[in-house]
Chain A
């Protein structure tokens, strides 16, 4: 006789009170397959923790974003934000879909080149560009986004020596009605610094001024802020046209679109509150089209969207290590993935589902990672079924930032696999070994023996 599946016995106190008017469902449906690939098979083949990336989701999401903008504006170009996820396989999917590269360091710049992106299709942002970085980017015809006057003067000097006119844009910061205002990148719009930077570029006659860029914030839940941004950049472009008689090539709106994740402390889920690509596109393109810019020669609209294009394509598979009761009687569960690899647990209440079906009874649980550090808390309170040791969990919406901001701390970083559009599973980053980490270390001779 086949035995029945066992579930840990649980008793849960019922509290009466005002019912939740939104009637949110407890998220206990199992995630047993990702793109039709069984999660149990992935765990059997690769173990846990394991990051899984869905190529189909990436491609579908970029198609959706392109549709939203290209049906509203004549010239649109996406540039993949490397810092959001710079796994080569991921970057190449975006490049195959026509995205340029948006990089913020020499490391990322060289990565983009090695991924086959031509120099003219690399946007070089960021406050830290060395003289050598600027020479390389100038020689490759890359789009250099100037962050501060020191960089501007360095670039003018370099261009004299190179006898080349590097292609440059300025980064502009501004008040878009959101708080806090991001003013650490670029030149301010309201106080006239941005126009001053443009004047210096034009007066030098050594740089080719091609565009305007702004990055107004991150996880922007208001599409309206982008409308303000696009209007101000269009106004600046118009002032430039009036003064110097030529149009700029492009307006780069930056990144910052929210994904469907739920921010900590948010009352409603991200799925209910995050603006859609259509919402963002409507706000941005309306502002540009309704500006004073010449409708026959509109600038190229560049978008450096990162998070909203990749977050939903990433999953993290993990396993329960143990269950414990805390001193106040609350249940806690320890899992084998910590904040060192799920860095975004500091910001989000991720959707976390079991891998298999349970009876539907759930309990309030504190979810801890495996690190011997008090901060290693994935969630202080989450409704989960009665999990037992060795049961598996699936964390959704982890594609952005985790695989770049993760750190090797206490444990080693896990493998990453990609499920391609045919359902084939490919390993795209091996799990680390002790050898990988110690390869960079040296032990002085006097410490040979202990």
Chain B
């Protein structure tokens, strides 16, 4: 799992896709997950890190995390 080279993300969660010209806004957790993907962490490692940091159940995290990755793939932000 890798973030595409044409994707630029700012600290505040502004994402720009230089290929399509589209821009997006991410909430803090969405931006954090993208940073962790950039750091070449795998999904299980990312989820473990989030579980330790945030007050969330495993099932609630799994659902929202998987859905987010699905969306990122559909938008050609990660591959």
Interface set of A (CB-CB < 8 Å, partner B): 3-14, 325, 329, 359, 361, 386, 388-389
Instruction: Classify chain B's interface size.
Output: 20 to 34
Identify which of residues 9-52 in chain B touch chain A, using a CB-to-CB cut-off of 8 Å. Answer: 13, 15, 22-30, 33, 50
User: What residue in chain B is nearest A360 (Cβ atoms)?
Assistant: B27
| Chain A residues with CB below 8 A from B72, complex form | 11
Whole-angstrom distance from the CB of A90 to the nearest CB of chain B? 39
Complex contact B28–A7 (CB within 8 A): yes
Interface set of B (CB-CB < 8 Å, partner A): 13, 15, 22-30, 33, 50, 53-56, 60-61, 64-65, 67-68, 71-72, 74-75, 77
Given A388-B60, A388-B64: A10 and B27 within 8 A (CB)? yes
Q: How far is the CA of A329 from the CA of B54 in the complex (A)?
A: 27
Complex contact A359–B28 (CB within 8 A): yes
Given A11-B68, A11-B71: A3 and B54 within 8 A (CB)? yes
Given A6-B29, A389-B60: A12 and B68 within 8 A (CB)? no
| Chain A residues with CB below 8 A from B55, complex form | 3-6
**8 pairs, CB–CB < 8 Å, chain A vs chain B:** A6-B29, A8-B68, A9-B26, A11-B15, A11-B30, A11-B75, A14-B22, A359-B28
Q: 11 extra interchain contacts, Cβ-Cβ under 8 A, other than A6-B60, A9-B29?
A: A4-B54, A5-B55, A6-B61, A8-B64, A8-B68, A11-B15, A11-B25, A12-B25, A325-B67, A329-B74, A388-B64
User: What residue in chain B is nearest A14 (Cβ atoms)?
Assistant: B23
Complex contact B56–A12 (CB within 8 A): no
Q: How far is the CA of A72 from the CA of B28 in the complex (A)?
A: 55
Whole-angstrom distance from the CB of B78 to the nearest CB of chain A? 11
| Chain B residues with CB below 8 A from A11, complex form | 15, 24-26, 30, 68, 71-72, 75, 77
